[in-house]
Amino acid sequence: MSDTYAVIGNPVSHTKSPLIHGLFAEATRQALRYTAIEGPREPAEAFAATVREFMAAGGKGMNITAPFKLAAFDMADERSERATLAGAANAFRFEGGRILAENFDGIGLLRDIEVNLHAPLAGKRVLLLGAGGAARGALLPFLGACPAELVIANRHVDKAQRLASQVAAQGPVLACAYGELERLGRFDLVVNATSASLTGDLPPVPPGVFSPQGTAYELAYGKRLTPFLRLARNAGVAGVADGVGMLVEQAAEAFAWWRGVRPQTQGVIDRLTVPLD
């Protein structure tokens, strides 16, 4: 009998997760069934009820996507350090009626950058745009990769400062407003962790932050050359990438957490990649 997993979100019709996990299961010869569940936005208790209904029916685990990552964190019985720092969960595992929560977004992002894009962070200057859940999930993995400096830029600098203070013991991190970036020079890696590209907007980042020999990374995926990536390309950056690799790598981490085997990812990334130009 196949074990059952699911992704829950709203909307969820666009999700690639059933395809990704289906390919993982086929490649690793794992017997599982993976479905998509459109969760209720209101009231908040309805999300938790939907999760518990899935558990009661024998579900083994879930991926969580927008807008439920905060609610997922709140309802968990046990949370990893990564999930705790992010204040959000993107994966559940069900054990004996208990809900274990993880957040693989940051580690998936780091693996895509360092392994797939061949851009190790050690000794490099890193700029993270935004101080929301996506940025929070990236902090511990990024600092664990030993950059020379990690700068968090945000419209509301106090939010970025609070975030930096939470991880100050983990490595060289500082916070600033966008208006301060001009004086900070070039960065080897610039990651857009804001939601600006989802609406076709551009975070107020000066082109001088990009190093032509560096990498510009957009967390959104499937949107081709976003305003952020176009700014980087126009600034001479050859290494531009969107978040499809992160999507697949975080899925592989969840799959390994559930099944005890980590699938190969490159073939799946190739299958899902949309040319940026």
What is the reported pLDDT for 277? 77
- CATH 3.40.50.10860 in the chain, residue ranges: 3-103
User: What pLDDT does residue 200 have?
Assistant: 76
Residue numbers in the known binding site for NADP(+) are 81, 130-134, 219, 243
Residues in the chain with pLDDT values less than 70: none
Q: What is the pLDDT of residue 108?
A: 97
Q: Where is the binding site, in residues?
A: 15-17, 65, 81, 90, 105, 130-134, 219, 221, 243, 250
Residue ranges of the chain that CATH labels 3.40.50.720: 106-244
Instruction: Report pLDDT for 148.
Output: 98
Amino acid at 222: G
**In the CATH hierarchy, which fold is given to the domain comprising 3-103?**
Rossmann fold (3.40.50)
* Active-site residue list: 69
Residue ranges at the known binding site for shikimate: 15-17, 65, 90, 105, 221, 250
Q: What is the pLDDT of residue 195?
A: 82
What is the model's pLDDT at position 271? 95
At 66 the pLDDT is 85
CATH topology of domain 106-244: Rossmann fold (3.40.50)
